[in-house]
Amino acid sequence: MSRATPSTIASRLAEGAARLGEAGLDSARHDAELLLAAVLGTDRLSLYVEPKRAVDGEVAARYRELIDRRAGHEPVQYILGWEEFRGLRLTVTPDVLIPRPETEGLVERALELLTGLDHAAVADVGTGSGAIACALAAARPDLELLAVDQSLGALAVASDNVRTLGLASRVRLLAGDLFGPLASLRGSLDMVVANPPYLPAMTLASLPAEVVRFEPRLALDGGPDGMRVLRRLIAEAPAHLRPGGWLVMEIGEEQAGALASLMAAEGFSAIGARRDLRGVERYIEGCWAEGKTVVPLTGVATQRMSC
């Protein structure tokens, strides 16, 4: 990009978009707008309100730095440090997966299943940025959320989001692997919701550079067939769910059939797969209603009820 001065919003925007276009980015203009708006402390619309506004040398230099990072395929969300998710602005860093629109659909389905159930206890297992837990807590002030992750870096990001959004009194963060930190809550959860890693390991190398080079592998790699963590969730969730509690998960393409069979074998009922906006079976749900006895911490046996 040219370092000539003076410069204007219009000229810097054109140069930034051209640089990103040369780097092969389909979203070149959009990303150039986001980055210029960020360094100017404004929004994208304002760039077109004052296109001839002068851009000083310091701002131009900062903009060039951001454009260079994006030209290297670093995700624009990591450069900006945030992403929108169901109307919430969430901090994101390379320690966490960038929240995606597909996961908004998971939150919406979880809320539908929780309709009519007051003061439910919900565990977001593998919380990452805390997107799911924060979105559920923001939508339903009566919910109690437990957000679990084994990555301390991810929990630091989630903690920042929980605190910034004013949800610290209702979202409790726990460090550990899947249900490990929830041992004291066996048989007491109304829902387990999860967006686990579900991509087959062999497919990771073929992902866009933005994903494979920058997003955390721990949040992507689902093992040889993509279902390593999904299997564990299905096997371990029943011990932590109340009678009639729900397990709701985001899943990979062509995994629904195999996972539905695993859930049925484990004792789940009302099993269903749902499609995302692209028509892909992206979510699976099941109600824990097997007719077995459960012994809570009090030592009193109770019967699991029908869903």
| pLDDT of amino acid 289 | 84
The CATH number of 82-303, from 3.30.70.260, 3.30.70.141, 3.40.50.150, 3.90.245.10, is 3.40.50.150
Distance CA 168, CA 86 (A): 18
* pLDDT single digits (tens) 110-121: 999 999 999 999
Q: Which is higher by pLDDT, 56 or 221? A: 221
3-state secondary structure of 65: helix
Distance CA 192, CA 114 (A): 11
Average pLDDT over residues 123-127: 98
Tokens, residue 84: 């929108």
End-to-end CA distance of the chain: 61
CB 75 within 8 A of CB 98: yes
Distance CA 43, CA 238 (A): 47
| pLDDT of amino acid 195 | 98
Preceding peptide of 296 cis, ω within 30°: no
- What's the pTM value of the predicted model, to 2 decimals? 0.90
In the block, tokens 């109340």 appear at 242
* pLDDT single digits (tens) 68-121: 999 999 999 999 999 999 999 999 999 999 999 999 999 999 999 999 999 999
As beta bridge partners, residue 145 has 122, 171
Kindly write down the DSSP assignment for every residue of 105-151, as one continuous string.
Answer: HHHHHHHHHTTT-TT-EEEEET-TTTHHHHHHHHH-TT-EEEEEES-
Closest CA to 105 of 77, 86, 125, 129: 86
Under CATH, domain 7-72 is a member of which superfamily?
A: Ubiquitin-associated (UBA) domain (1.10.8.10)
In the block, tokens 């929780």 appear at 114
For the chain, the structural domain boundaries read 7-72, 82-303
In the block, tokens 């969300």 appear at 77
Average pLDDT over residues 225-243: 97
Which pLDDT band, with edges at 50, 70 and 90, does 51 fall under?
confident
| pLDDT of amino acid 6 | 64
| pLDDT of amino acid 3 | 52
- SS3 percent helix, strand, coil of the chain, rounded to 5, is 45, 20, 35
